[in-house]
Chains A and B, each alone.
Chain A
Amino acid sequence: QSVLTQPPSASGTPGQRVTISCSGSRSNIGSNSVNWYQQYPGTAPKLLIYANDQRPSGVPGRFSGSKSGTSASLAISGLQSEDEADYYCAAWDDTLTGYWVFGGGTKLTVL
């Protein structure tokens, strides 16, 4: 069971806006920034959003992130077929010596 909670699946049609939620607690999302990773089957994760809402160069502007309290969201507007992938949220958790925690991942299907 993951420390951060994500819906296991999400879906949308091309052009739609989809959001993926990530719920944590005061010791992780409530105290630290949230990052999002995109992963295609059989490949390594790729940084999608860092520091809650920052996009690395090369990531399309239709990907956006936000954080409020102990929750965060990833939004994808103008959904495209190539967005079909797994998405993971992550945050540092301050408990004890500290450690990184991930969400269980959300499989996004483009219908």
Chain B
Amino acid sequence: EVQLVESGGGLVQPGGSLRLSCAVSGFTFSSSQMDWVRQAPGKGLEWISYISASGTHVNYADSVKGRFTISRDNAKNSLYLQMNSLRAEDTATYYCATEDDFGEMWFFQHWGQGTLVTVSS
């Protein structure tokens, strides 16, 4: 059974930092592209970051570029999101998700349960 479990969320002051983790099992993590998607309270989904299977290629939404860093440890079956210079508008539930393809058509197949990050003084 595929499982993705996020952790590391919590309350942080504006300007602070937080590191999210996503522990996975049930599939070959080292072959999987991964993403982080967030959802502000009562709002829609927002993609924020991507990392290739090897970790060589990364991509970020403009809203987090320069502040967030995605990384992975394939030996530990874990995905990370280092979040610096946090702002109130970063308050959201953060989901990790697998990015899979069907004939080069990509989609988010498996999702974690999410971890809530609250940025407030």
Contacts and interface: CB of A to CB of B under 8 A. Distances in A.
A50 B46 CA distance: 18
- Interface size class on chain B is 20 to 34
A104 interface: yes
Interface in A4-19: none
A44 B108 contact: no
A92 B106 contact: yes
A102 B112 contact: no
Contact of A44 (B35, B62, B112): B112
A101 B61 CA distance: 10
Given A45-B45, A99-B61, A102-B44, A50 B105 contact: yes
Interface string A71-111: 00000000000000000101010000111111111000000
Interface string B98-121: 000011011111111110000000
A59 to B, nearest CB: 12
A27 interface: no
